[in-house]
Amino acid sequence: KAGVTQTPRYLIKTRGQQVTLSCSPISGHRSVSWYQQTPGQGLQFLFEYFSETQRNKGNFPGRFSGRQFSNSRSEMNVSTLELGDSALYLCATARGTNEKLFFGSGTQLSVL
């Protein structure tokens, strides 16, 4: 059974650009959530999607957005990149609510 797949693994962008990250969940998992990990702030919740609907959102500016497709795959987008957006972005999936979360390997984003 394939795990959570995130692409790309590494990204280098410059300030002002935008970026799209992708997450393919484990088969049968309908909940997809995104987290940002930085040395200073640790792991922080960005948002969660279930059946193509955003159910919850963390305390991040509107430049961070996401969506989920009918096959449960999810994308997150960051527009007008800032240096502080440099981080490891992790996707986590689960079958449903209050269930065990499984994480992908993450996308390491560097903003120059």
Partner 1 sequence: GIQVEQSPPDLILQEGANSTLRCNFSDSVNNLQWFHQNPWGQLINLFYIPSGTKQNGRLSATTVATERYSLLYISSSQTTDSGVYFCAVEFGGTASKLTFGTGTRLQVTL
Question: How far is residue 3's CA from residue 108's CA, in Å, rounded to a whole number?
Answer: 18
**CB-wise, 29 or 85, nearer to partner 1?**
29
Q: To the nearest whole angstrom, how small is the minimum distance from the Cβ of residue 80 to partner 1?
A: 25
Question: Which CB sits closer to partner 1, 50 or 64?
Answer: 50
Q: Which is nearer to partner 1, 24 or 33 (by Cβ)?
A: 33
Q: Least distance in Å: CB of 90 to partner 1?
A: 7
Instruction: Tell me whether residue 14 or residue 97 sits nearer to partner 1 (CB atom).
Output: 97
> What is the per-residue DSSP string for the chain?
----EEE-SEEEE-TT--EEEEEEPPTT--EEEEEEEETTTEEEEEEEEETTEEEEE-S--TTEEEEE-TTS-EEEEE-S--GGG-EEEEEEEESSTT---EE---EEEEE-
Work out how close the CB of 88 gets to partner 1 at its nearest, in angstroms, rounded to a whole number. Answer: 6
Provide the minimum distance between the beta carbon of 21 and partner 1 in the complex, in angstroms, as a whole number.
15
- Residue 35 gets the label, from left (phi > 0), alpha (psi -120 to 50) or beta, of beta
Name the residues that contact partner 1, by CB under 8 A: 31, 33, 35, 42-45, 48, 50, 55-56, 58, 88, 90, 92, 94, 97-103, 105-106, 108
